[in-house]
Homo-oligomer: A and B are copies of this chain.
């Protein structure tokens, strides 16, 4: 947003729903009343509802239902995350944009948010359904001091933050579950996707790109056939519309705290918060590893490095570092 409209918007916000006269806006900002009018028009073009009466002045009646940096920033408690926030009406993939920004030197915490993705990506080359103006899709550049081998549990840490933001939003923590490694489920159905990509020199991370998609207001009946049986959205779960801006603020606030903890004390310090939501424990699972091998057993928990621990029928404990989990039906 340009400085002029941003200043007018800030003044209207400070007025808190009361009307500001054109004269006061003009003198306050040292610009002509004609310029104030142009700035108001620019805000309207961005979706702001601003009522104007020639005698009284301007009043901010409604903000657009868009993930605009000015809106998100107003309720952000972070120090470094999403303070540099770039908004896109649409893009192919926010991770692709953030990777390009990272390679060009973007600072720790730089975040890209989009209203829609035309080629949203998930783990293992899968797609992420990303219809416009319904959900949250964003990717952050992270530059922690981190060894390459220490990076994998950061995806579990991110899932903890997403789960906490979802819990605060739906107000029903009992319904929230994390499916290893990083899917956040509501009532057993998938509500989010996390795709963490990293660039490293052999031994140490140069940057991470953490992409998060959360189904907020998409109607679960609108999912493509392939996702319909297994996915839901926060609004479909709650039966009410979700405030996307408030969700983004909660997400960034939770994510910064969680990642700071992970950087300072390791995933070990977050493990209890992961395991509290890890309702696979004690359930029979099958995991398809990256090479196609299958491991079956009963989930015991996660290791300090984020690996899934499976107890096999023969009593042995196996570690699964990467793969795709299927939860066996309890009564087949």
Contacts and interface: CB of A to CB of B under 8 A. Distances in A.
Interface in A300-324: 305, 321-322
Nearest to A154: B202
Interface stretch (A29-37, A141-149, A212-220, A235-243): A141-149
Nearest to A320: B203
A151 B148 contact: yes
A83 to B, nearest CB: 24
Interface stretch (A18-26, A132-140, A190-198): A190-198
A199 B199 contact: yes
A151 B147 CA distance: 11
Nearest to A305: B149
A290 B147 CA distance: 9
Nearest to A100: B103
A181 B199 contact: no
Choose among A149, A155, A305 the residue with the greatest number of B CB atoms under 10 Å from its CB.
A149
Interface in A166-225: 181-182, 195-204, 206
Contacts of A148: 148-149, 151-152, 198
Contacts of A198: 148, 198-200, 202
A198 B203 CA distance: 10
A145 B145 CA distance: 26
A243 to B, nearest CB: 30
A257 interface: no
Contacts of A203: 152, 155, 181, 321-322
Contacts of A202: 123, 151-152, 154-155, 181-182, 196-198
A151 B149 CA distance: 8
A45 interface: no
A226 interface: no
Contacts of A199: 197-199
Contacts of A182: 202
A305 B200 CA distance: 17
Contacts of A195: 201
Contact of A149 (B152, B154, B181): B152
30 contacts: A123-B201, A123-B202, A124-B201, A145-B290, A147-B152, A147-B290, A147-B322, A148-B152, A148-B198, A149-B149, A149-B152, A149-B305, A149-B321, A151-B200, A151-B202, A152-B203, A155-B202, A155-B203, A181-B202, A181-B203, A182-B202, A195-B201, A196-B202, A197-B201, A197-B206, A198-B198, A198-B200, A198-B202, A203-B322, A204-B290
Interface of A: 123-124, 145, 147-149, 151-152, 154-155, 181-182, 195-204, 206, 290-291, 305, 321-322
Which 5 A-B pairs rank lowest in CB-CB distance, beginning with the nearest? A203-B322, A155-B202, A149-B149, A196-B202, A152-B203
